[in-house]
Structure formats: C-alpha cells, structure tokens
Chain A
Amino acid sequence: MTTQAEHPASSAAAPADPAGLLPAAEPVAFLDDDGSPAPEHRRGRYREPDLALLREAYSRMVVGRRFDAQATALTKQGRLAVYPSSRGQEACQVGSVLALRPTDWLFPTYRDTMALVTRDIDAVEALTLLRGNWHCGYDPHATRTAPQCTPLATHLPHAAGLAYAARRKGEDTVVMALVGDGGTSEGDFHEALNFAAIFAAPVVFLVQNNQYAISVPLSDQTAAASLADKGIGYGVPGVRVDGNDPVAVLAVLTDAVETARSGAGPVLVEADTYRVEPHTNADDDTRYREHDEVETWKHRDPVDRLDAYLRANDALSDDDVSAAGARAETLVDDLRTRMAGDPDADPRELFAHVFAEPTSQLREQAGWLAAELGET
C-alpha cells in the first residue's frame, strides 16, 4: 500500500485512488459468456485456479443446482415452509466455500443454503430453518458456519468480530461473510466494514449482487458506480468480479482469502450475478422484471461456462459429467427420503434454550405447556 508521503501534496494531480482500493473499470473475468477465454486484460493481476480445483467446483455446482431444484420441489410439496433459490448463483455459492479451508468460518444468509451443502453440512440439517422445525439445524462450531442470517447484514459485524478474535488468538482463520446487493444498504454492512478495517480482521465480504432485492433493482438500491466502490470509504480494497464466471470467482476469492490470511485486513468483493428464480416460491417476479432479461442471463450460465472451459482444456469428459450427476442424485435421493416424514420438532424444547439454564418462570411455563400436551 502506498502512503501519503509518497504522494506529496505539491505534486501534480494526485491519483484519485492512490491506495488502489477502487475496483477496476470492468469486473474481473477469465471467461466470455460462452466459456471461451476472455480478453487477457480482464484477468487483472489474478492467477488462474488450477484445473483440479475447477473440476471440483464443476462437480459441486452440478450438485448444488440439483439440490436447489429439489428444495424448490420440496417446497411445492409442502415439505419446506419457503425456499429462497440461488439458481444462477452457483459460481458464488460454490466458489465462496471452495476458497476456504475447513478451519475457516462461513457467515451465510438465508439464500446461501447451496453454500451450506457445498460445505458438506448435512442437507437436512441445512434445511432445518426453511423446514421450520428449528431455526438453525447444524452445529455452528463443528461446521465453522454461523446460523443463516435472515435480517440482512446483521451477521456481518459478527463475522468481523469473529475474525478479530481469530487474529487476537494468533490463528490463521479467515472468515467469509456473504451478503446481497440489498444488504449493502443496511447500516450493519457499513459498520462491519469499518470495524473489520480498524481491527485488521481477516474477513472477506462477498456481495452477491444478483441485481434485485426481491423486487427492487440495483438502480434503486445505490447511486454508487459499483458496490465494490463502497470499500474505499473504509480503507478496504474493493474488487468486482463476473459472478457467473466460476474461474474468475475462484481466482478472486482465493486471492482475497490469501490477502486476509496474510494479515492485510478485510477485502470487499462484489460478484455480479443473477437470481434466475423468483425471490422465493411465494414471489411473482413477472411483476418487476421482464422475461427477456432472465433469458439473457441464462445465456451466461455459470455451469455451462465452466463445462465449456473444462472441455476445451480436456479436463472434463462425459464420464465426469455423469459422475457429477450421479453424486447429485445420491444427495437428493437421500434428502427426499429423509424429508418425507413429518419434522421432529418438540414444543417442549422451546424452554430449554432461552438461557444456559431455564429460569423459574420458564420452568413454570414449560409445566403449563406439558399439561396442555397431556403430560403430568
């Protein structure tokens, strides 16, 4: 990072961004829309991920997309209360997790269930929130994954705090915090960036800019040139990446994680992507966007682009595609079977977890409920 002293005020027209905190004029990209190589300059300084990682990403994206479709189907069958799909965002969902080590932490939102499955969290536990039998079904400590955040951006200060804790303890843990374009308008987003920067906390803030906060388009969300521009106000470098280019997403996120791990503090990454499905099964997206727009984005499909890129590099065979498909079917077969029964929610458990130990009032109220349930 350059310092003030290297740019004395007396020199001619100081650069607008002496510390290099603003994103490049165009998002980082390695692939064109059809999966062929993008122009060299679009890569910026980023290194191409190795083919083994990209093959793993491909397989995970196929599994993730199949899981996502299954979850939507389960919602239509009444097995889930609601499901916010991340179809179309597979490069971000998978890339954000594959950029991490198992010892790193992930802070997801409600739209990031695909990322949870990519993190090898049991699919039924990952869907507990949306199924409605408890709020968080997995063990956050064991999985190094915070509960999914529903009030947007409220989890970002937690991510900054946990990353700061890791730095204090001398650990090399990095935190990946996920948020959407709408979430960048929340005060917590800004406070989290500021605190993370002040604490030199090793956290990567990944904004999945899927262009809509339910119905509100990005143009009504911000007047900034890009969401990655918001980093400079906090002294945090902002990077913008083609979020439907899995090669670029992995290149940028791997680099951002390395930067955070090196002790250089937080990084803000904006990935431009698109939510192909409505906000949830309860949403009617024809009220706020044109069919043609959705179709245009489908031509930039992250799975298709990576498929084409890997095949062009002799790194993906028909057998590989079949194997990824089989891996996906195994996961959803198991998911369907285990979701077929009624949830095992126990109302008596309500009183057990309000505090470390139930208070006398809670014990009394637990007694009332037990009596209502016909117990003595």
Chain B
Amino acid sequence: MSAESMTIAKAVNAGLRRAMEGDDHVLVMGEDVGRLGGVFRVTDGLQKDFGEDRVIDTPLAEGGIIGTAVGLALRGYRPVCEIQFDGFVFPGYDQIVSQVAKMHFRSGGRLRLPIVIRIPYGGSIGAVEHHSESPEAYFAHTPGLKVVTCSNALDAYWMVQQAVALDDPVVFFEPKRRYYEKAEVDPAVDAADVLALESARVTLPGDDVTVAAYGPMVKTCLDAASAAADEGRSIEVVDLRSLSPLELGTVYESVRRTGRLVVVHEAQRTLGIGAEVAARVTEECFYSLEAPVQRVTGYDTPYPPARVEEQYLPDLDRVLDAVDRSLAY
C-alpha cells in the first residue's frame, strides 16, 4: 500500500479498520455507527466488512454505551465507543469519570479498561446547540483518562490505532470542522517509527514566538503563522496532541528559544488547557520568558448560537493579536 491522500474522517476510518483487522477483540459501538456509518461517516463500511457483532448499533444511551463497554473490556474486548457529538457525552460522563477512569486505580491495577471513547468536537459548523462544544478539559482534569486529539489526517490514522492498542482508557477528540481536510497518509510506514501518542509535535519551526494549539486550532495557527511570515515574523507552531498526559517538554524547549508563548484553544478560557500550559511554562521556563503567556480561547459563555459563533471562536486575527501583545513586551 502506498501513500494516499485522505481526509481526517477517512483516516480515522482507515485506522479503525486496521486496528480491527489486527485484533478480533476490537469492537466499534455507538449510535448509528453500523448501518449508517456514523453521522460523519467515520465508521462507514466497517459493519459491512466486520459484521454486526463487531460494529454494533447500540440503543441511544451514552451511559449505557460506555457502561456496557466497561463490562466488555473486563472480559478482554477493546471497545471503541463513538459519542455522536461533543455535547452528548454528558449522559455518559458519570460512567467515564467515575467508572472508566477509576477502575484500574480502585482495583489496585487488577482491572484494565482498554476503551477508546471517540468524540467529534468543536465548532464552526453552523450547528444547533450541544453540537459544537469543546469539553476536553473536563476529561483532562480526571486522573485515569488519557485525552488526545488529532489535527490532521496523518495523526488521525496513527493516533486512533495507538489509542486502541493502549491498555488505558482514552478519550479521543476529533476536530469535526476539519474532518474533510486532506493529508498524505502512508500506511506502509513502520508503526514503531510513528511519533508516540503522548508526544507533542513541532508542526512549523520558527524563531520569534511559540504558538501551542491542538485539534481544530492547529490549522488556524498555521494560517496565522503564514500571515505573520508575510510580515517577517517567524512563528513556531506546536501541536500538543496529548492533553492528558500533557507532555510539555516540546513546548519548554521551544519557549526557551523564543521566549514567548501563545496558547490557543476553542474551549472556554477559565481553567482551560491553556491555563495549565501557562502555569507549567511559568514554572519551568521562568527565566526564558520575555512576556507573560498569552491565551487565545473561547469566551466564558455557553457555546453560542451558530449565527454568532464566528465572533466567539478564536481566529487568525486573534492569534496574530496575541502574538503582537507578546512581542510588545
């Protein structure tokens, strides 16, 4: 198989397919994941090829989906649960934070739950309420969950396979507004040579300011960096990829060179991932910082109606404004 240009949606699909081919214990379960192939078609064709027993159209109940996945995992299965939209995860939230996250700990390591919970997240798709949220901080705040997110098709392909292979539960956030953006994916690459799931990546090297982002905002930041380059400013873009654990070594190394950091996410500002990044960068890179860490985030409001979501969401201009603020120090 040679390199192929594919969308993020297709890359998750291809990654899931490969994981299912490699291990009979991998199951896909959720609402509409089978016959329909998911509302975003991410699981398209999997039920046809792997059967109704491995790609399961469940009753419509997120708590039941996650809860029964726990029982399946206890007997050796590796369920991949799809939550249809970010805002619909909360009926299953109790099972995720109280049960999935804690089972390994409370059993003294005797019970492992290799469950992946896939959640399409984020806004800018013109949807009605509860369809555009960024709830990642709730999960990253919960010990026992790994929380990761991809920003491009290449990562989507490999990260979903790495998540399935992990013995810990993983909440896997997919940037739904980027689902149909393409990148080259080469399945022939040796999996051992792929960047580790929990590592950040320098997506674009630069010298003047570090901009750290994840998921849908990585593309926004790359666009901002491109615009800044036209004005002679060199921005380094770091894709955090893993939000729990949040391995910031890559960011520290970058900030020690640039002396400046802007953190960008769609999620609300207060106690968001950006706050944790800012705190830790301050702890670790205090003498390298030329300016306070700047945050570019959603506002501290519930996610807005579609007609005003573009005024709520961080965009290229807001990222560049933050870069300017940082450089003004």
Contact = CB atoms under 8 A, between A and B. Distances in A.
A297 interface: no
Contact of B245 (A146, A168, A361): A361
B89 to A, nearest CB: 15
B63 A355 contact: no
Nearest to A154: B99
A315 interface: no
A160 B107 contact: no
Nearest to B68: A161
Interface string A345-361: 00001001111100111
Interface in B210-268: 245-247
B245 A188 contact: no
B104 A165 contact: no
Contacts of A159: 71
A192 interface: yes
Contact of B59 (A141, A168, A194, A360): A194
Nearest to B100: A158
Interface of A: 134-137, 139-141, 146-147, 151, 154-166, 168-169, 187-188, 191-192, 194-195, 198-199, 349, 352-356, 359-361
B204 to A, nearest CB: 25
A169 B63 contact: no
Q: Which 8 pairs from chain A and chain B are nearest by CB? A: A161-B71, A157-B67, A161-B68, A191-B64, A165-B75, A162-B71, A135-B106, A359-B245
SS class of chain A's interface: helix, strand, loop or mixed?
A: helix
B167 interface: yes
Given A163-B71, A165-B71, A195 B59 contact: yes
A356 B144 CA distance: 9
B285 interface: no
Interface string B42-53: 000000000001
B106 A136 contact: yes
B146 interface: yes
Interface in B134-186: 143-144, 146, 166-168
Interface stretch (B3-11, B108-116, B296-304): B108-116
Contact of B143 (A160, A166, A199, A354): A354
B309 interface: no
A265 to B, nearest CB: 14
Contacts of A166: 75
B124 interface: no
A146 to B, nearest CB: 8
B63 A188 contact: yes
Nearest to A361: B245
Nearest to A349: B108
Contact of A188 (B53, B67, B73, B109): B67
A125 B108 CA distance: 12
B68 A158 contact: yes
Contacts of B109: 352-353, 356
28 contacts: A134-B106, A140-B110, A141-B110, A155-B99, A157-B63, A157-B64, A157-B67, A158-B68, A158-B74, A160-B67, A160-B71, A161-B68, A161-B69, A164-B71, A165-B71, A165-B72, A168-B77, A169-B75, A188-B94, A191-B61, A191-B64, A195-B67, A353-B104, A354-B144, A355-B104, A356-B168, A359-B245, A360-B245
A68 to B, nearest CB: 23
B146 A165 contact: no
B164 to A, nearest CB: 14
B288 interface: no
Interface residues of B, number: 44
A188 B167 CA distance: 25
Contact of A135 (B67, B69, B105, B247): B105
Contacts of A158: 67-68, 70-71, 74, 99
B268 to A, nearest CB: 23
Contacts of A199: 68
A162 B67 contact: no
Interface in B59-94: 59, 61, 63-64, 66-77, 91, 94
A199 to B, nearest CB: 7
B58 interface: yes
B270 interface: no
Nearest to A234: B59
B95 interface: yes
B68 A164 contact: yes
A224 to B, nearest CB: 20
B255 to A, nearest CB: 18
Nearest to A139: B110
A164 B54 CA distance: 13
Name, among B59, B105, B168, the residue most crowded by chain A CB atoms within 10 Å (CB to CB): B105
A117 B191 CA distance: 47
B98 interface: yes
A151 B94 contact: yes
B70 A161 contact: yes
A85 B63 CA distance: 29
B134 to A, nearest CB: 22
A195 B72 CA distance: 12
B165 to A, nearest CB: 11
A111 B25 CA distance: 34
A161 B99 CA distance: 14
Contacts of B77: 165, 168
B67 A354 contact: no
Given A354-B143, A355-B168, A162 B74 contact: yes
Given A139-B110, A353-B109, A360-B245, 18 more contacts: A135-B102, A136-B108, A141-B111, A158-B68, A158-B70, A161-B67, A165-B75, A166-B75, A187-B63, A187-B91, A188-B67, A188-B95, A198-B59, A352-B109, A353-B108, A355-B168, A356-B104, A356-B112
